[in-house]
Amino acid sequence: MQQNPSDTDSEVHLPVVKDHVYHCVCGYEYVVEPQRGGQCPFCYRRVLGEALQDAYEATVSLSSLQSSARDCEVELDPIDAMTDHVFGHFKLEKQLGQGGMGAVYRALDTSLQRYVAVKVMRRKGDSSSEQVDPMLREAVAQARLNHPHVVTIYYVGRQNEEPFLAMELLPGPTLAERIRLQGAISYPEAIGYGIQVASALKHATIFDLIHADIKPANLILAGEGRVKISDFGLARMQTNDSTKEGGSIAGTPSYVAPELLRGGDYSIQTDMYALGVTLFEMVFGRLPVQIQGESLQAKLESLLAAEINFPNPWPNTLPREFKNVLQRLLARNPQERYATYDELLDALRAIAPVSTTAAGFAPRLMAYSVDQACLLGAMAPFAISIFGLQAFRAESSQLLIPIIAFASLIVPALYLLLIYRGWPSLGRYLFQLRIVEEHGLPPRREQLVPREVLRNAFAWLFPLALYISLQSVSVSKGIEYSLIGVLGLNSVALFLLGRRKALHDYLCHSNVVLAVNESEPRI
C-alpha cells in the first residue's frame, strides 16, 4: 500500500520495477531475470518467473525500484527520522506517503522475509490521538474481511506507545492517479471495478462495517482488471455507531452523501452514493457535481443544491441503462437508492458488457445452416400436406389448404416465443454464439425478435413462395427474387464491409460474439 500525499490517509502504490533484485526467504538479495527467475547463491533456493510476476511488491528489493514514464509517478517524501526503525518484526525502509493521521512506509517483515506497507499513527498526546483507538479497532475489523477486493491487514499493534498497522503492499496505482494521468476509464473496465467494490462492501456488512470513504484514491489497482478497497480508517458500524459524535461527519466532500450533510445517519446507502460518484468519475473523468464557494460551508451548500451534471446529449458509446443506475445511486433521498447490495450487484451485472470478440464466419455459417434446416424441417410436413392435397384436386381437399397454411404459422410463432423468452437458437447453442447489442449488453426483447424475423426470412418466405406458386407463378417469382436479393445483401455486408455484421445486425444494431463464461462470483 502507498499513499498519495494529496489525499489524507490514502494508500499509495509502488513505482514500476525496472532492475529486478529478489529478496529470498533466507534474507539474501540477488538480481533475477523477470521471465526466467533465478537461484539464490546463498541458500540455493530457486524462484520461477511466474512467482516474481505474481508478487513483485512482496519480494522485490527497494533498491531496485525506479519510476517508469508510462506509469503513474508518485513523489516520494525523503527519508525521515522513522526510516530504519523497527516496529514489532517490521523494519521501516522508506516513507511512501503522509497524511493527517500518520505516515505509510514500505517495510520488511523480518519474520516472513517479505515487504509490506506499515502505517504509523500519530503518537499519544497529538491533537488527533483521540481518533487513533477507533481507527485501530476498525483496522482489526478490516483484518477479518477475507475478500479478494479488500486490502489485507496483517498486523495491528503498538511500539513504544506508537500505534501502527501492517498491511498488504500493492503495485497500484490508485484509481485517482490513473484518472488524473490517463483520463476517463473505459466503460467495461469501470463497470468491472464497480462490481468488485460493491461485492467487497457487501462482504463488509457481514461484519457490521460501512466504509464511509469510498473514492478513487482509496481504490488501488491490484493487477489486470482488479481493484482493492483500502483505508477503513473512517469506517462506521451499521448499528450502534458510537464513532459518530455530535453529528460530526468525516470524508471527502465530493463523495459524501447529501443526507450526511443534512445531519443524517450513515448507512449502506451512503457508501452507495460514494460508489455512484466514483463510477461517474471513472467513466467521464470528472465529478458529477461542481463544488463552488470559498468557505467549506459554502462548498457543502453548493453540493446540496447542485444537480447532477450528466452529459447532454448522452454518449452513443454508453448504454442508457448506465444512466439509470447512476441516477439511482446518486439520488438525494437514500430511500430511492438500492435497498441492498444484492440489488445493486444485479443492476451492475445487468449492464456489464460481455465478450465483444466477434464470431468468425465458419461458426456463424454453421449456426445459420442448422437453424434454417430446423425451421424448414419443422415446416416440411405442412408443405407436404399442402402439395398432397393439391394433387387430389378434390373440392373438399382444396378447402383444407388455407387451413394447413395458416396452421404452419405455429412454427415461426413458437420459435419467436422461445427467442423472446431468452432461449438461444439451436445453431447458436451448438456453436457457442450469442447476440449482444452495440454496447455489449444483452439485447432487448423488442430488439431481438425483429432481428430473428429478418435473419430467418428465407425459412419464413420460401415455403410461402411455394404455396403461392400454386396460385400465382408471377407473385411466387417475385418472392423468390426478393429472397435472393436479401441473401446477396447479407453476403455483401458480412464479407465485404469488414465488421462481420450481417444486414439484420446493421438494421437492429446487434453483434454476434463468442459466448464466454461471464459468471461473476456471487460474493
Q: How far apart are CA 125 and CA 143, in angstroms?
A: 26
Quick one: average pLDDT of 368-379? 88
Residue 376 has pLDDT above 50, yes or no: yes
Q: What is the predicted pLDDT for the residue at 381?
A: 87
Q: What is the predicted pLDDT for the residue at 18?
A: 44
Does the predicted TM-score (pTM) go above 0.75? Answer: no
Q: Which residue has the higher pLDDT, 24 or 249?
A: 24
Q: How far apart are CA 120 and CA 34, in angstroms?
A: 32
21-167: which CATH architecture?
Answer: 2-Layer Sandwich (3.30)
Local structure of 480: helix, strand or coil: helix
pLDDT tens across 94-105, in order? Answer: 887 776 667 888
Q: What is 121-169 written as a DSSP string?
A: EPPTTSTTGGGHHHHHHHHHHHHT---TTBPPEEEEEEETTEEEEEE--
Local structure of 201: helix, strand or coil: helix
Each domain of the chain, given as residue ranges in start order, spans 21-167, 179-241+250-350, 361-514
Quick one: average pLDDT of 486-507? 72
Q: How far is CA 155 from CA 111, 117, 495, in A?
A: 12, 10, 61
Residue 248 has pLDDT above 70, yes or no: no
Distance, C-alpha 412 to centroid of its chain: 38
Burial of 485 from C-beta contacts in 10 A (0-12 / 13-18 / 19+) = exposed
Q: What is the predicted pLDDT for the residue at 165?
A: 86
Q: What is the predicted pLDDT for the residue at 57?
A: 53
pLDDT tens across 251-275, in order? Answer: 678 888 888 888 888 899 999 999 9
Q: How far apart are CA 460 and CA 480, in angstroms?
A: 12
Most confident of 45-54, 422-431, 453-462: 422-431
| Residue 380 pLDDT class (50, 70, 90 cuts) | confident
On whether the CB atoms of residues 14 and 107 are closer than 8 A, the answer is no
Catalytic member of 213, 271, 371, 505: 213
Residue 31 corresponds to which amino acid? V
Q: What is the predicted pLDDT for the residue at 76?
A: 38
Q: What is the mean pLDDT of the chain?
A: 77
179-241+250-350: which CATH architecture?
Answer: Orthogonal Bundle (1.10)
Residue 109 is a catalytic residue: no
Query: Which bin fits 113, alpha (ψ -120 to 50), beta or left (φ > 0)?
Result: left
| Residue 81 pLDDT class (50, 70, 90 cuts) | low
Residue 228 has pLDDT above 90, yes or no: yes
Angle 392-396-399 (CA atoms, 0-180°, nearest 5)?
100
Half-sphere exposure in the Cβ direction for 366 (13 Å, CA): 10
Quick one: average pLDDT of 392-415? 77
Q: What is the predicted pLDDT for the residue at 419?
A: 87
Q: Which residue has the higher pLDDT, 421 or 498?
A: 421
Q: What is the predicted pLDDT for the residue at 470?
A: 63
Q: What is the predicted pLDDT for the residue at 516?
A: 64
Percent of the chain at pLDDT exceeding 70: 73
Most confident of 1-5, 296-300, 383-387, 491-495: 383-387
- Distance linking the first and last C-alpha atoms of the chain: 24
Quick one: average pLDDT of 227-237? 76
Other Cβ atoms closer than 10 A to 36: 10
pLDDT tens across 438-449, in order? Answer: 777 878 777 888
Q: What is the predicted pLDDT for the residue at 512?
A: 85
| Residue 75 pLDDT class (50, 70, 90 cuts) | very low
Q: What is 379-439 written as a DSSP string?
A: HHHHHHHHHHHHHH--HHHHHHHHHHHHHTTHHHHHHHHHHHTTPPPHHHHHTTEEEEETT
